[in-house]
Amino acid sequence: MIIKTADFFKSAASWKDYPGEGFPEVAFVGKSNVGKSSLINTILNRRRLAKTSSRPGRTQLLNYFTINKNIFFVDLPGYGYAKVSKSVKKTWGRMVEDYLKDSENLRCVVLILDIRRLITDADHQLIEFLRSYNIPVIYVLTKSDKVSNNEIFRQKAKLKKSLGDYYDEDNFIIFSALSKRGKEAVLGRIDDFLFSD
């Protein structure tokens, strides 16, 4: 996939605000502070398109970006951030769940995980949810520049054990926003899902 244009389109809080263009969609989701915005900006060759922040939990709406004028990338609110209120967490959860269930144009979900961390119960719940709706998942393991190759190998082994039958080597991509490692692999895998039958 070659990125020619990438622009912010709109934010949405519910299905009433979803775009009506009918473009195929790729959703990006992950726990707060895993580098989701940095991943989006890196693969789109833009520095500040998706807003990054030192404060986790800043994305509170579904943010749509138009890619090549015929695809939507959708930045979903981060989950698992302890310092937001229960009511906000509930609202985010319902918003994300409704989108994942109801979007007729969703082709795949890019699930971002920090390679330095183990999969949590919240991660497992999301993975189970995606599987229950037969939504394809691309796992992107971010911040690989912060660990050694040996540690990457060990973490992938732990993920494989934790995920069991859900583990698919083809859909696990090691990524670094700093070195851009994995950038082309992420775009290539997205391309596979966007234009598969």
Tens-digit pLDDT profile for residues 117-160:
878 888 888 888 888 899 999 999 999 999 999 988 888 888 88
Q: In the numeric block, which tokens belong to residue 55?
A: 């404060």
Angle at 26 between CA 21 and CA 27, to 5 degrees: 110
Q: What is the mean pLDDT of the chain?
A: 84
Tens-digit pLDDT profile for residues 76-114:
987 654 444 455 445 556 788 888 888 889 999 999 999
Q: How far apart are CA 152 and CA 159, in angstroms?
A: 10
Write down all domains in the chain, each with its CATH number in brackets: 6-194 (3.40.50.300)
